[in-house]
Structure 1
Amino acid sequence: MSDVPSDCPGVNSDQAGKSSACDGCPNQKICSSGESQIKDPAIAIVAERLKQVKAVILVLSGKGGVGKSTVAAQLAYMLAENQDTQVGLLDIDICGPSQPLLMHMQGEEVHTSASGWSPVFHHEVSNLGVMSIGFLIPNSNEPVIWRGPRKNGLIKQFLTDVDWSNLDFLIIDCPPGTSDEHLSIVSFLSDVPTKAAIIVTTPHELALLDVRKEIGFCHKTSINVIGLVENMSGFVCPHCTCESNLFPNSSGGVVKMCEEMNVRRICSVPMSLGVSKAADEGRALNSEDGVVYTVYQNFACGVREYFR
């Protein structure tokens, strides 16, 4: 459902579609009729498909441009540094897929087997499989102009038709916001037991305003939040390696917001030329990229610990 009212009673409530909060909601008729409580058969199919996936991680952001896709890509790379760890990366940003570039996998094609679509495996990291709409469209410059139902249908296909097989981690790179795609992915994952979210923000006030809504979305949809990644927390000079703050913290910044929202700050990732180069070259960070490499290594270790 889209445009959920802020004080929505919930689709399973006796007041669904009948509360004053429901007035004007586009889903009011469906909720009051009881149709919203009919379980989508795809939910059981997704649970069966992902039964061998040990952990599903949603990477979310309230606002675009905060580096969410870069965080998802580098987390996947870091987790896959251990060759015994099988990692999947699913890009459900239908209108703005970034993972083909960040993984240096432009021009790759999806292959079909008897068990469904096969993830495209990274040419240098053999234990990292990726799926994105970017592999399905012939021209990366062509805009994807789809309405909600068609986007949701492809997300369902990514979960029901892709043979993810045995994975330790499935990282899902979501578009910014809290709209149709987010409601769809949360609904399809309803019966998947081990799932949680990582929320990415930058320190500036506009991003913090929207990330509060993202945290609220997770609470309303019963998604556990592993914690918050403060991206672009400062700028590391490539010459003197000093770090400078780029955003004023007039309201106390990320630290205060995390205290108010009872969310853990996982790490602070400074801006650096290493991150920009790694993103442009579609590669993992390495020790030559400076402090950010260590930050991401510790980040990945924290994620592993969370799911133990």
Structure 2
Amino acid sequence: MNTTFENTLPIFNFSLQDLPGEVWLPVHGSEDFALISQFGRVKRIPRHFTSLIGDNRYYGERIYQPTVKTYTTFKSGGYRYHLCCTISAERTHRVFNVAKMVYFLFNKPFPMDDIDYKIIPVNGKDLDIRPDNLELIFVKDPKIDILRIKPTYSLDAKLRIFNKMEYSKELIYRLGVISCYSVHGDRICTFKNITKASQLTHLSVTDIENAIIKPFLLVHGCYWRSGKDGKINTSLMELKQQQEENQRRGVQLTQFDLSGNPINYYYSIAEAAKDNGISETEILNCLHDRQQVAAYSFWKKGYHETSIPGI
């Protein structure tokens, strides 16, 4: 992973020590649970929590790790990044766009739930979310980008839905010139269009389309982009690959409260055990039906958004 790249972005600084000039404000809608600074760092507020059975638990201060997400803008044939943060508290689970929250609190309020409002970086760097680099725009065109479908859908789900629209494939083919790049971001070759690239490389058109739509995807050891830039930044690719590798190494878990409602999600048993102050064995016992409850919670493998029978 590119350590130098991460060190230049405050959002990847997970130290509890304040950065120079850092100001913290309550997260809108989660004022009792989290703070956010003008650098996009989100911090959990220490608190005591009483479970449904009367047990008192303590959640200490911590910096939340953001999730880097990507989406395709079919209008321009490009792609964009944005940061999301997940807050789990008081039997609730909330995901919000970090750049929107920074603009709302440090620039001016706007209807954050209205998907016609977009936040874009002035300098073109999507992860530079300082307030003075953010611009609010109003976009009414429902074809402007793939996020118009539903923000909570996964990228694959969005693509399946979007591909049902007649103009989606046509727009992809109109991308024109495309290029392939090495894992280090150096341009290897440029092609007149996708069809020509398929003929010369013996890759299927579908594989190349998927690589353009999903910028983190390697096809036969190469990245693919529309246009003919001499070099692309692969730092985010390395970060995404590291996140996916961490997910593959662990066991994805869903934590439920005693009423059966999902309250948290983890990518490994070790992470879940550390965050809840219990041993990994207790969670394993729950997963293998050797015990029912650990940390006053139910546990199941996988990602579950629906409730289960509670006590």
TM-score range, shorter chain: under 0.3
Q: Which of the two has greater helix per residue?
A: 1
Q: Which of the two has greater strand per residue?
A: 2
Q: Which has the larger radius of gyration?
A: 2
- TM-score normalised by length of structure 2: 0.22
